[in-house]
Amino acid sequence: MEKNELSDIRPLPPLMLVLGYAGLGPFVLLSVMMLHAAFVGPGLQSSSVLGLYTPYLFISYSAIILSFLSGTLWSRNGYALESTQKELLLLGSNFLALIAWLALILAYFSSVMTMLAVSLLIAGFASVLLFERSMMITNKSYWRLRLYLTGTVIATQLLVLFLLIEDL
C-alpha cells in the first residue's frame, strides 16, 4: 500500500461532522450577505453586520479557522514519519498561523490590501489541505469531509475576492 493511499473507511464521529458543517455557516452566510449588498443592496462598501464591515468579519472568521487548522497540523506532528516531515509540519503550521494574522492586519489598510488578505487566506486553506494529504491520513471519510469543507471555504473566498475586485 502506498503511503498516501486512502484505505480506512471508518465513519467519522457525528460531532466532527456537525462541527465541520456548522463551521461553514459563517463563510456561506457572510459571502451571501456581501453578494446581496453588492448586487441588490447599497453596495459592498455599505455591507455590515451589527455595524461591522462584512468583508472584515469574513476575513477575521477565515483567519480564526485557518489558525485552528494550523494548530491541528502542529498536533499531528507526532504522526509524521520522517524528521524532515515533522520539521516541515511545525514550520508550516506556524507560517500559516502568521499568514492568518497578516490577513487580519492587511484588511485594515485599503481595498487592494483586503484583496491580498483574501488571496493569502485562500492559499492558506489550500496549503493546509496539501499538508494533510502529505501526511499519513488514510481515513477516506475524513479526507472526503476535508475536501468538501475546504472546497466550500475556498469557493466562498473566491466569491468574496470577485466581489472586492468588482467593487474597485
What's the pLDDT tens digit per position in 137-167? Answer: 668 888 899 999 999 999 999 999 999 999 9
How many angstroms separate the CA atoms of 163 and 168, rounded? Answer: 9
How many angstroms separate the CA atoms of 75 and 20, rounded? Answer: 18
Domain membership flag for residue 7: no
pLDDT means over runs of 10, the chain (168 residues): 62 95 98 97 94 97 97 74 79 95 96 98 97 77 94 99 96
Domain membership flag for residue 103: yes
How many angstroms separate the CA atoms of 123 and 154, rounded? Answer: 9
Domain membership flag for residue 156: yes
How many residues make up the chain in this entry? 168
Domain membership flag for residue 109: yes
Domain membership flag for residue 129: yes
Count of structural domains within the chain: 1
Count of other CB atoms within 10 angstroms of residue 159: 19
Domain membership flag for residue 61: yes
Q: What are phi and psi of 52, to 5 degrees?
A: -100, 135
Domain membership flag for residue 45: no
Structural domain range at position 135: 14-39+54-166
